[in-house]
């Protein structure tokens, strides 16, 4: 027997936190009865579980590393009709969800999975998974401004957590420079707002690494499944028992 929200997350419905919201909203039924209380335990092999009137399907867990290009929305649907990241996953039949977000005009490494528990833990800042960005910014930041980026920047939603920042190189004309930032948070447009705050707005932005995962071997728009060793290492980093997970790599 497992908690209902955990079963829903493992079925790829959403993250565990979102699944809890679905339960409280009365959108989940177990054996024909609406369940609104958290903590209810079910047996997914026996109990009939439905979300919004549709039975859940216990999919095998899949883990996808995508090189997201610019001009693509990190979402499953877009009311404006723009391309979304799942449009790029032509060979993936399972319902997968992005782990975190990359802006429409930001490229780089994006994980997608139907393992809601892992997604929720990876996205939580308490696990301090390195998110490494390369940003071409306008002008050349002075050393004290680069140090300020690393120490923390006061934004409208509060001070950013300490990270790392360094100047990689400057364009020959001196009109722009390449910064590398390593952060652990996932605030909306955080890197762009941090650079704007020191007076050097971002021209282009790419996430080049997430933890130990990199974009090596991929071009924009391409993806690959994680290896079994990579999945095990990710779960170890956020203290998830890999033996209890269904996975296909």
Give the DSSP per-residue string, the chain: -EEHHHHHHHTTSS-HHHHHHHHHTT-EEETTEE---TT-EE-TTTS-EEETTEE---PPEEEEEEEEPTT-BSSS--TT---BGGGG-TT--S--EESS---TT-EEEEEEES-HHHHHHHH-GGG---EEEEEEEES---HHHHHHHHH--EETTEEPPP-EEEEEEE-TTSSEEEEEEEE----TTHHHHHHHHTT--EEEEEEEEETTEE-TT--TT-EEEPPHHHHHHHHHHTT--GGGS-EE-
Active site residue 103: yes
User: Which of 87, 103, 105, 241 is an active site residue?
Assistant: 103
**Which residues are known catalytic residues?**
103
């Amino acid at each position: 027997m497992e908690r209902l929200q955990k079963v829903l997350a493992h079925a790829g419905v959403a993250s565990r936190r979102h699944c809890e919201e679905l339960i409280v909203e009365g959108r989940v039924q177990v054996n024909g009865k609406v369940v609104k209380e958290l903590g209810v335990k079910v047996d997914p092999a026996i109990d009939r579980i439905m979300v919004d009137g549709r039975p859940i399907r216990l999919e095998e867990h899949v883990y996808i590393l995508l090189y997201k290009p610019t001009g693509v929305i990190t979402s499953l649907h877009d009311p404006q009709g723009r391309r979304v990241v799942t449009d790029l996953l032509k060979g993936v039949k399972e319902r997968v969800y992005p782990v975190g977000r990359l802006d429409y005009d930001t490229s780089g490494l994006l994980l997608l999975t139907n393992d809601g528990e892992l997604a929720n833990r990876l996205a939580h800042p308490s696990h301090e998974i390195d998110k490494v960005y390369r940003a071409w910014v306008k002008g050349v930041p002075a050393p004290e401004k680069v140090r300020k980026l690393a120490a923390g920047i006061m934004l409208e939603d509060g001070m950013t957590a300490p990270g790392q920042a360094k100047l990689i190189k400057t364009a020959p004309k001196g009109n722009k420079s390449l910064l590398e930032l390593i952060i652990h948070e996932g605030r909306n447009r955080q890197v762009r707002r941090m650079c704007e705050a020191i007076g050097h707005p971002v021209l282009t932005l790419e996430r080049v690494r997430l933890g130990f995962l990199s974009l090596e071997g991929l071009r924009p728009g391409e993806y690959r499944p994680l290896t079994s060793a990579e999945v095990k290492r990710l779960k170890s980093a956020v203290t998830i028992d890999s033996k209890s997970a269904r996975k296909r790599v």
